[in-house]
Amino acid sequence: MIVKSTSNYLVIDDFMDPDELVELRNFLKKEPYFYENAFEWNKVWHPLDGKVLVTTPNSCGETERAGGQFPTDTPLDLFFRTMEKESEAIAQILQCQESEIKYVVATYLYRAGWGLSWHDDAGPYCGAFAFYIHDEWRGNWGGELMILPEERLYKAEEHSIDLGYKQGGGFGDSAHVATGIGEFVMPLPNRIVFMSKALIHSINKVAPHAGENMRFSVSGFFL
């Protein structure tokens, strides 16, 4: 069910069959996780964003990325097949043909205090998505997807947020605080958000109120 549609992002609720979602969630809880920056610094994460936990990636289509390939003969295929049903909507957001859709996907865990700084999905990507699979998320737990409105689309010129992040890929103040107005998407269970490449976004840090509950998402990038 589409609950929000713009030229740069699309929000769909009740994305997966509830029983299939439970099967997928139980499978992904048992997968091995490692820290995103355990081997090298992925500079989209500010040093103070926290150390997000992530699984080994899997691909749908020929992405030339390491990891598994659909079909995986695991419950992850339930997600891949659900994505196929939304290919028309995905192609519209990405401004491409349905036959051109290919993506790499992994599972991410954010605990209290972890988030992701403002960025766009630069490089070889043409868009991204986040599918929330935790079984509960309360309004004061944080973890919202933060989005800049369309009129604030930004073309990178100088990447610098502060002295401690000048080697990273962050944005200067003019990228997002000039008007101080934007939108957010709550990470409700069984909700997926598709985003175009141009969209500037961030993940609000998970609040202490969440306790040991983690923001649990299947997320990826279209290539």
Query: Is 2-222 in CATH node 3.30.70.240?
Result: no
Would you say 202 and 126 are in contact if contact means Cβ atoms under 8 Å apart?
Answer: no
Residue 82 binned pLDDT confidence (cut-offs 50, 70, 90):
very high
- pLDDT for 135 beyond 50: yes
pLDDT at 154 over 50: no
Q: What's the burial of 195, exposed, middle or buried (CB within 10 Å: 0-12/13-18/19+)?
A: buried
Dmax (CA) for the chain in angstroms is 48
- Model confidence band, residue 93 (pLDDT cutoffs 50, 70, 90): confident
**Res 192: pLDDT:** 98
- Token code pair at residue 104: 């790499």
- Tell me, what's the pLDDT at 67? 87
Residue 153 above 70 pLDDT?
Answer: no
Query: What are the contacts of 29-34 at 24+ separation with CB within 8 A?
Result: 31/55, 31/56, 31/107, 32/56, 33/107, 33/109
Domain-by-domain residue ranges, the chain? Answer: 2-222
Q: Could you tell me the pLDDT band of residue 30, with boundaries at 50, 70 and 90?
A: very high
Q: What's the rounded Cα separation, in Å, for the pair 184 and 148?
A: 9
- What share of the chain in percent tops pLDDT 90? 61
CB 193 within 8 A of CB 185: yes
Average pLDDT score, the chain: 87
165 has a pLDDT exceeding 60: no
User: In the predicted model, what is the mean pLDDT of residues 101-126?
Assistant: 90
Reported as a pLDDT band with limits 50, 70 and 90, residue 152 is very low
What does the alpha-carbon distance between residue 220 and residue 126 come to, in Å, rounded to a whole number? Answer: 11
Share of the chain above pLDDT 70, in %: 86
3-state helix, strand, coil in the chain (%, to 5): 20, 25, 55
Query: Distance between CA 147 and CA 117 in Å, rounded?
Result: 11
Query: What's the confidence (pLDDT) of residue 150?
Result: 59
Digit-coded pLDDT (tens) for 6-25: 988 999 999 999 999 999 99
